[in-house]
Amino acid sequence: MENPHPTGTELRKSEIIGHLKAPSTPDKTLPQIPIEAPYTAEGQRKRLDYLASLRNASLDHLAGKKTFEHHADLQGNIENFVGMTQVPTGVIGPVAIHGSAAQGDYFIPLATSEGALVASYGRGGKATRLAGGITSICLSEGVQRSPVFRFEQIRDIGPFISWVLEHLEKFRAITAQNSRFARLEDLRTNIEGNHVILIFEFTTGDAAGQNMVTLCTEAICRYLLEHCPTKPVQWYIESNYSGDKKATALAFTHVRGKKVSAEVTLPRSVVKETLKTTPERMADYWQASTLAVIQSGAIGAQGHVANGLAALFLACGQDVACISEASIGVTRMELTSGGDLYASVTLPGLIVGTVGGGTSLPTQRECLELLGCAGQGGARVFAEVCGAVALAGEISIAAALSAGHFAQAHRQLGRK
């Protein structure tokens, strides 16, 4: 799969449109994941056999047939290793996705210990597939590192910034010398008194990229400190401005990692038969919940995006702490003129990757291979899957709350 780098943090419209294909009709003959006997070894075996036959992939580590043995493979992932924390992993699907990179039916692994979560996301995925599938598009990319420089007085900052802005191409060359995949796309400044923050924004290929941008930024700063005309008194590689592992207004209004928007229109019949409610009830509930979450002071307005994304991140070797920024976003539901339900979710802070980090560990690699996006060329696919998962979960929880089924579902599935 091609993995083009955008020429700026905003993907070109022609690039997005060029990747979009006419939505294919979901394969009606492809059954849902087998759900009988969910708490027995036989139920587990049926699901594993079914998935292995469809994807022609080995799931031996997930199945427990193989255990982790190669300790040297943990270098870069863990220190003082003593063992593995086992988190139950379920699968939902098929979820139909039409995107700029993700195309087709996906079986999606979710690792969680919260009862009812997998069932809820599975129901949302089923409803969206009956509606023809979710359109999920990666709109823009950008990973920031923001060093801060302190000067004696504010008047020293002017010559410093002028010099810095004149050397953007040099900084791009330094980036290329220090990474095969990072691209320096933008440089912005923020001044506060005698402090100046430089916001370097990179694209990072198929890696989540936090370490990559740190090393590239450090190399740039070493060159800058050696050659700039006005020397700072002090500097730090990260000012705490970039939004790394934090929910920030800056990430919400711009991008951190990958920005994805996903949408679906649910016919009235699907809402009634699969979700057991009506489009009117769901739209009314979502209006009320949006007003309430605004009053709470939350960044963004969504229901429980962190639930599905955290489970997907755990299963697929992502940096789970990045849920802090990944779960900010906006969910919208409204009645169409034809009486159906339009639903969308926009996530501007998806720090995700399919190379590096924990993506090469055995079970995590198997989960990415199950999705068909392991390794190079998979990051944008994975981001668009994240958007679809989030939307499926938002639809299901809104349906349950609007119909008065929320407590009942947790009573049945979330308790021992």
138 vs 350: CA distance, rounded Å: 10
Count of alpha carbons within 13 angstroms of residue 169, beta-carbon side? 1
Lowest mean pLDDT among 59-73, 76-90, 333-347: 59-73
In-domain check, residue 246: no
In-domain check, residue 159: yes
> Residue 228 sits in a domain of what CATH number?
3.30.70.420
Kindly tell me if the per-residue pLDDT of 12 is higher than 60: no
Q: Between the CA atoms of 398, 402, 407 and 410, what dihedral angle is there, to the nearest 10 degrees?
A: -30
Q: pLDDT tens digits, residue range 277-292?
A: 999 999 999 999 999 9
The pTM of this model reads 0.92
Using pLDDT thresholds of 50, 70 and 90, give the confidence band for residue 181: very high
Percentage of the chain lying above the pLDDT 90 cut: 78
More confident site: 52 or 398 = 398
| CA 3 to chain CA mean position, Å | 17
Residues 119 and 202 in one domain: no
Residue that is last in its domain, among 236, 267, 293: 236
Using pLDDT thresholds of 50, 70 and 90, give the confidence band for residue 147: very high
Residues 43 and 120 in one domain: yes
Using pLDDT thresholds of 50, 70 and 90, give the confidence band for residue 23: low
Q: What is the structure's pLDDT at 190?
A: 97
Mean pLDDT computed over 24-53: 78
> Residue 268 sits in a domain of what CATH number?
3.90.770.10
Q: What is the structure's pLDDT at 3?
A: 37
Residues 92 and 214 in one domain: no
Mean pLDDT computed over 99-104: 96
Percentage of the chain lying above the pLDDT 70 cut: 91
More confident site: 45 or 138 = 138
In-domain check, residue 4: no
What lies within 8 Å, CB to CB, of 337 at 6+ separation is none
Name the residue range of residue 151's domain.
147-236
183 vs 203: CA distance, rounded Å: 5
Residues 279 and 333 in one domain: yes
Q: What is the structure's pLDDT at 25?
A: 65
Domains identified in the chain, total number? 2
Catalytic residues: 114, 319, 410
Using pLDDT thresholds of 50, 70 and 90, give the confidence band for residue 10: low
